[in-house]
Every structure is written in C-alpha cells, then in structure tokens.
Amino acid sequence: MTDFSGTVALVTGAASGIGAAITARLHAAGASVLLADLDADRLAAGPSGERLRTAVTDVTRAGDVEAACATAVEAFGGLDLVFNVAGAARLGTVLDGGEDDWRSTVDLVLGGTYLGIRYGGRAIRETGRGGAIVNISSLNAHVPLYGGSSYAAAKAGVEMLTKNAALELARHGIRVNAVLPGLVRTPLTTGWFDGGPIERDFTARILAGRPAEPDELAGPAVFLAGPDASYVNGTSLVVDGGWEITNYPDISAAVGA
Ligand SMILES: NC(=O)c1ccc[n+]([C@@H]2O[C@H](COP(=O)([O-])OP(=O)(O)OC[C@H]3O[C@@H](n4cnc5c(N)ncnc54)[C@H](O)[C@@H]3O)[C@@H](O)[C@H]2O)c1
C-alpha cells in the first residue's frame, strides 16, 4: 500500500458507501482526512480519532464547500487531495418526471463536483505542494439508465468536467481524474439487492457476476490520487467488473469456443 503519511485529503460523501471506503483506505495509509457529508448523524456515528475531522457539508452550497476546505487546511496545515464522491439521483422520465428532480440531481452530481474542484483546487494551489483530485462519475456517463436522464447526463458532465479541470489545473501541479463505477453494493443501491429480477438482470450483465464492494472502488480511486498515477491525468477509469463490454451479443457458440 502506498504511504500517504503527511498527506491531507478531503472526501465528500464520506459518511457512507464509496466515500467511507476511500476515507478508510487513506486513513489506514497514513493520510489526514476531512470527512465532508450532508448527513450529520452518520458522520457523528462514523470513524473518529487522530488524523480525522468531520464537516457537515452540502456540496451544492459554495459556502459549505469552501468552509470544509478551510477546516481541512486549518486542522491539518494544508490540502493535497480531494475526492468528489457525494452523489444521488432523483429518478423520473424526461417526459413525465419532475423538473425540480432534474435540477436538483444535476446540481448535486455536476454542480457539487464543480464546487469541490473549484474550492478544493484553490486550497491545493494555496498549499503549494501540488496534488490530485478524483471525481466519482458513473458507468451511466456511458450507458443510459431508464428514468435517470438527469443522473446519466450529469455523470457524463462530470467526465468532461474532469478533463477540462485537468487541462486548467496542471499548471498548479494538480492532476484531475475520474472513476466510473458500475454497480456497487452501498445504501444507494440496496433497494436493488432483494434477490428479484432487477438484481438477476444486473448481475447477468456483469462479467464478474456480482456487484462491487465499496473497497473495490476505493482502491482505484486512491491509486489515481497517489504517486503511482503521477503520469495519469484527465482520464477516466471504468471500474465495472467488465459490464460495459457486454453489450455485443454473445457469439461464442458460432465461434465454437
Ligand atoms: N453505488 C453504485 O452502484 C454507484 C455506481 C456508480 C456511481 N456511484 C456514485 O458513487 C458516489 C457514492 O455513492 P454511494 O453508492 O457510495 O452512495 P451512498 O448513498 O452510500 O453515499 C453517498 C453519500 O453522499 C452524501 N450526500 C448526498 N447528498 C449530499 C450533499 N448534497 N452534500 C454532501 N453529501 C451528500 C450522502 O449523505 C451519503 O453519505 C455517488 O456519486 C454515486 O453517484 C455509485
């Protein structure tokens, strides 16, 4: 495991799922971590101790995000890494879904990532050591989701925002990359894991034959932020157990293999 001693990280959405797994990995590797999340109760019930601080943060509010960055700098003496993980979707079809649902999902997923890059990037620039930003997009940036147009479009936006930010932040020694998870077993998706047809159809499409555990996303995300990815910038890492490549019909019988 890479040693992150002396590194300061801010993780949004840190109270649950993928964000909590990223936080655990970073902390175990020696980093100081500011856990930023909207859910005050979960933050309070989560990990605490040396090299950990929490900040109740709504990533759709610029003032909250700026304050979380300031808290990290004040508590740990600077900021090196930002993980923009917070996200959720309010589903609804293009024709009949709520316009407020559309706006709030885009504001959270795309707007929240923008604010994390903006204020986190400024704090990293101010710290002056260079650093890295990792944005959690989704396989839905490439694959549409029925009723999820706002989420899928916003996640596709996160992928391009990642490239654009990488272009602009490189002069400050900051790399920006994205992770595109497929299906991960977290509170966001628990409703789908009831042994019913949705779970069966999902797992049938995944070469791994199962959803990911949160730590299987944390590994790639932390890799992108660390020194082993020093030459990786402005790109996306699809972490989906081979889901995206299963769209073509299975012609193995015709090939005879
Ligand atoms: N679980 C999956 O299958 C999956 C797949 C692809 C992408 N993702 C993405 O991964 C990220 C993490 O998802 P997860 O599965 O760990 O979900 P999760 O629900 O377990 O965690 C999301 C966290 O974000 C926080 N959050 C929500 N709105 C917020 C806001 N406005 N400000 C601050 N925090 C807020 C929640 O309180 C929660 O702690 C999300 O961006 C999600 O879209 C998840």
**Beta-carbon contacts of residue 151 (< 8 Å; ≥ 6 apart):** 89, 91, 105, 109, 138, 140, 145
57 ligand 1 Cβ < 6 A: yes
Of ligand 1's listed atoms, the one at least distance from the Cα of 86 is: 24
Cα dihedral 16, 22, 139, 150 in deg (nearest 10): 50
User: Which pTM was predicted?
Assistant: 0.97
Q: What residue numbers bound the domain in which 83 lies?
A: 8-238
- Name beta bridge partners: 135: 84, 178
Residue 243 located in a structural domain: no
Residue 21 located in a structural domain: yes
- CA–centroid distance, residue 179 to ligand 1 (Å): 13
19 ligand 1 Cβ < 6 A: yes
Eight-state DSSP code of residue 195? S
Residue 211 located in a structural domain: yes
Q: Phi first, then psi: give them for residue 185, nearest 5 degrees.
A: -80, 100
Residue 130 located in a structural domain: yes
Residue 248 located in a structural domain: no
Q: Is the pLDDT of residue 239 over 90?
A: yes
Residue 251 located in a structural domain: no
Q: Is the pLDDT of residue 257 over 80?
A: no
105 ligand 1 Cβ < 6 A: no
Return the percent helix, strand and coil in the chain, to nearest 5: 50, 15, 35
| H/E segment holding residue 32 | strand 32-37
Range with lowest mean pLDDT among 107-111, 157-161, 225-229, 244-248: 244-248
Q: What is the CATH number of the domain that holds 92?
A: 3.40.50.720
Residue 45 located in a structural domain: yes
Instruction: Give the model confidence (pLDDT) of 214-230 as tens digits.
Output: 999 999 999 999 999 99
**What is the pLDDT at residue 209?**
92
Q: How many domains does the chain fold into?
A: 1
**What is the pLDDT at residue 195?**
82
| CA-CA-CA-CA torsion sign (88, 93, 98, 100) | positive
Instruction: Give the model confidence (pLDDT) of 17-29 as tens digits.
Output: 999 999 999 999 9
Residues involved in catalysis: 151
Distance separating alpha carbons of residues 95 and 89, to the nearest angstrom: 17
Of ligand 1's listed atoms, the one at least distance from the Cα of 19 is: 16
Residue 42 located in a structural domain: yes
